[in-house]
Amino acid sequence: MAGYAIRAELVKELSMNKKNPSTTHRLKHATKHLANGVALAVLALPLAAWATPAEDAAVPPETLERLQGMAPGAPLPKPGQFVHIPPTMEDLEASSLHPKLKETIRRGHDLFTHTQQLRGKNVFNDMNCSSCHMGEGRLPFSSPVWPAAVVLPNFRPKNGHVNSLEERIAGCFTYSMNGQPPAYGSDDMLALAAYHQWLAKGVPMYQPGNTMYGRGYPKLAEPELKPDVARGQAVYEAKCALCHSADGSGRKQNGKVVFPPLWGDNSFNWGAGISRLFTMASFIKHNMPLGQPNSLTEQQAWDLAQYIDSQERPQDPRYTGDIAETRALYEATFHKDTLYGTEFEGRILGDHSNTGEKPFLKPEGVLRSRDFSGRATNTN
Amino acid sequence: MKTTPRPAHAAKLRTLVAGITLFAASTPAALMAADLEAGKASAALCVACHQADGTGMAVPNGEPWPALAGMDAGYLLKQLQDFKAGARTNASMQPFAQMLNDEQMRNVAAYYASLPPRAGTPSQASAELLAHGEKLALRGDWDRYVVACVSCHGPGNGGVGSDFPRIAGQLPEYIKAQLIAYRDGSRANDPIDLMSAIAQRMTDHDIEAVSAWLGTQSAPNSSRN
């Protein structure tokens, strides 16, 4: 009931077409919302009031309004969910952080939104971090990156050991950018990590990830109809091909990437998180077409994911040389959700040694396990 | 006497057309055969408003006449077709579009595409307004899901193919009028509602700011690289 009341109020406020708040206002709001977010989480735990509608009242209408602005059409926070609105770059400038730290975070933001500047060194495809983490990595339902800064180090099923924030970022470079991650501890890596941490400003360390509002690409409900390539292709041609091209290669202008490729040599590889059907479907539903989040149906999103995942892309860097073996090795933790190693139109997807523009399969020094038992001989 | 310079001129035009064809990968095949000379002749209809050099004009309290010079030929052609078919409405443009047949449209579009684009001009707007415009154009305002112009209009907002026009250096009055038209639905010939959806989230202040800033910018001619 309270939830409904807030919604009605929100609609009223949204229709008032308020003037754009100034930077100082926004900073004030950000700080306030941050405090509210923390307060909500702190309250939720001791009271264990997960299901009472009254809990909704803890998220102030102006926070809900901001969330609706950032994720139009997305569901509002459920009772007990942790809400965090990351600070903006304007907030950074207005902050009292050391000028050298501001410079570092600014550099991280620039690398995040213009990752192509690392082309040929760390990036070997047409992707930027912000191709998938839209809105400078701040948006709910677009895998906002602040959670990584507060849930790591943690065990990660994908590689079966405890990962740091830097290792998590290295994973994106390895798979989504089909590249060679900047070295651990390098200036670029530190800048990227600092940007992640800045976005998490005020969030408690080890805040439980499963309570975070809009974290990752929340899995859509199972589709009513079995996802279908032909239906997906029809939607693709109507809604996606204009920007991503009929052949999935994206679009460039004057040699610069404008719209990222969704498959082919310059797209993410078979080990990228977004090559999983549920991840792609959720990304599409909550973010595409550009500027029209939540405009497609869930069925359309699932069908599109099926169509896109039925195309070829650079080899998974974990490839052993045998497609069936590679799929089997990573089936439980990853490939059960991709079409890698499955048959489509008479051929096995991923059965090739094409690494795209990358002149190697595995990046150096990244795809290795770790050992904290105290018994390992090589722990460097 | 008149015939001597012609072959050289024609060769130059052929080179230009070849250049357009080479660089604008998305330009419809029909434009390859465009006759710039004939396009220039048809442009006699346009110069009163769009000016002889195609850089447009905005008169105080009047309808802004956009810069056409250096715009993508395929984009210009589509706008002419839409005016003729009524998919884009404008009382001033409609009668002129009606006068052109398909071939004349192709030629005149190619002719304007071949002209040097309007360069950005200094704005009288406040530094604060221009800064807000620059932010919207280059970074957007994701708190309100106002996507940056550059996300679709490409490097330097110089346009992408025939679908996303060059907006850098365009007359601010014209950009403003179009954003308002997209916002209120009186212009709706954008593919997949891409512009309309974003314009609907823009305030008057946003529109004023982004139009002013884009008008100060110069970008490479997207048709000729």
Does B222 map to a domain?
Answer: no
> Which residues, 6+ apart, have CB-to-CB distance to A215 below 8 Å?
A140, A143, A144, A147, A209
β-pairing, A347-348 vs A343-344, is: antiparallel
Q: Residue A379: is its pLDDT beyond 90? A: no
Q: What is the dihedral of CA B39, B45, B48, B54, to 10 degrees?
A: -20
Mean pLDDT of the region B7-15: 42
From CA A277, how far away is CA A342, in angstroms rounded?
A: 13
Mean pLDDT of the region A288-310: 98
Q: Say yes or no: B134 contacts chain A, CB-CB below 8 A.
A: no
Q: Residue A53: is its pLDDT beyond 70? A: no
Contact present, B171 and B64 (Cβ < 8 Å) = yes
Mean pLDDT of the region B9-24: 42
Residue labelled with tokens 């405090």: A35
Looking at residue A376, its pLDDT comes to 79
Same domain, B29 and B91: yes
Looking at residue B28, its pLDDT comes to 55
Does B41 map to a domain?
Answer: yes
Does B120 map to a domain?
Answer: no
Q: Which of A34-48, A205-219, B27-41, B160-174 has the lowest mean pLDDT?
A: A34-48
| Enclosing H/E stretch for A162 | strand A161-163
Does A365 map to a domain?
Answer: no
* CB-CB neighbors (< 8 A) of A288 in chain B: none
Same domain, B141 and B204: yes
Which residues sit opposite A82 in a β-bridge? A212
| Enclosing H/E stretch for A155 | strand A154-156
List the structure tokens of B7.
């072959």
Q: Say yes or no: A139 contacts chain B, CB-CB below 8 A.
A: yes
Looking at residue A15, its pLDDT comes to 38
Does A96 map to a domain?
Answer: yes
Q: Residue A27: is its pLDDT beyond 90? A: no
Residue labelled with tokens 């990968």: B25
ipTM: 0.85
* CB-CB neighbors (< 8 A) of A239 in chain B: 192
Domain that holds residue B47: 5-113
Q: Residue A227: is its pLDDT beyond 90? A: yes
Domain that holds residue A33: 2-70
CA angle B166, A241, B138 (to 5 degrees): 35
Q: Residue B6: is its pLDDT beyond 50? A: no
Looking at residue A98, its pLDDT comes to 98
Does B121 map to a domain?
Answer: no
Reported for A99-108, long-range contacts at CB under 8 A and 24+ positions apart, including other chains, are A101/A194, A104/A190, A104/A191, A104/A194, A105/A191, A105/A194, A105/A195, A105/A198, A107/A187, A107/A188, A107/A191, A108/A191, A108/A192, A108/A193, A108/A194, A108/A195, A108/A196, A108/A198
What percent of chain A lies above the pLDDT cut of 70?
84
Does A102 map to a domain?
Answer: yes
Looking at residue A21, its pLDDT comes to 35
Same domain, A265 and A338: yes
By C-alpha distance, the chain B residue nearest A131 is B151
Same domain, B46 and B10: yes
From CA B194, how far away is CA A189, in angstroms rounded?
A: 35
Q: Residue A192: is its pLDDT beyond 60? A: yes
Domain count of chain B?
2
Q: Residue A156: is its pLDDT beyond 90? A: yes
Does A198 map to a domain?
Answer: yes
Does B119 map to a domain?
Answer: no
CATH of residue B75's domain is 1.10.760.10
Burial of A309 by CB count in 10 Å (0-12 exposed, 13-18 middle, 19+ buried)?
A: buried
Mean pLDDT of the region A263-279: 98
Q: Residue B23: is its pLDDT beyond 90? A: no
Q: Residue B182: is its pLDDT beyond 60? A: yes
Same domain, B108 and B28: yes
CB contact under 8 A, A290 and B220: no
Does B152 map to a domain?
Answer: yes
Does B208 map to a domain?
Answer: yes
Same domain, B11 and B90: yes
The amino acid at B153 = H
Domain count of chain A?
3
Looking at residue A368, its pLDDT comes to 86
CATH of residue A254's domain is 1.10.760.10
Does A236 map to a domain?
Answer: yes
Closest CA to A307 of A359, A244, A367: A244
Mean pLDDT of the region A68-97: 96
Same domain, A132 and A168: yes
Same domain, B108 and B139: no
pLDDT band, residue B31 (cuts 50/70/90): low
Looking at residue B32, its pLDDT comes to 59
pLDDT band, residue A44 (cuts 50/70/90): very low
Q: Which of these three, B78, B113, B148, is where a domain ends?
A: B113
By C-alpha distance, the chain B residue nearest A142 is B142
Phi, psi of A257 (to 5 degrees): -70, 130
Q: Residue B78: is its pLDDT beyond 60? A: yes
Looking at residue A365, its pLDDT comes to 85
Same domain, B14 and B96: yes
Q: Residue B8: is its pLDDT beyond 60? A: no
Q: State pLDDT tens for residues A231-252.
A: 999 999 999 999 999 999 999 9
Looking at residue B3, its pLDDT comes to 37
Average pLDDT of the residues of chain A: 87
Candidates A71, A251, A292; nearest CB to B161: A251
From CA A40, how far away is CA A135, in angstroms rounded?
A: 25
The amino acid at A355 = T
Same domain, B141 and B191: yes
List the structure tokens of A122.
């760390």
Q: Which of these three, B113, B146, B161, is where a domain ends?
A: B113
pLDDT band, residue A11 (cuts 50/70/90): very low
Interface test with B, best of A65, A254, A259, A287 (most B CBs within 10 A): A254
Pairwise pLDDT comparison (A19 vs A71), residue with the higher score: A71
Pairwise pLDDT comparison (A59 vs B65), residue with the higher score: B65
Q: Residue A51: is its pLDDT beyond 90? A: no
Candidates B160, B197, B205; nearest CB to A20: B205
Question: A275: how many CB neighbours lie within 10 A of its CB?
Answer: 27
Same domain, B106 and B131: no
Q: Which of these three, B67, B88, B113, is where a domain ends?
A: B113
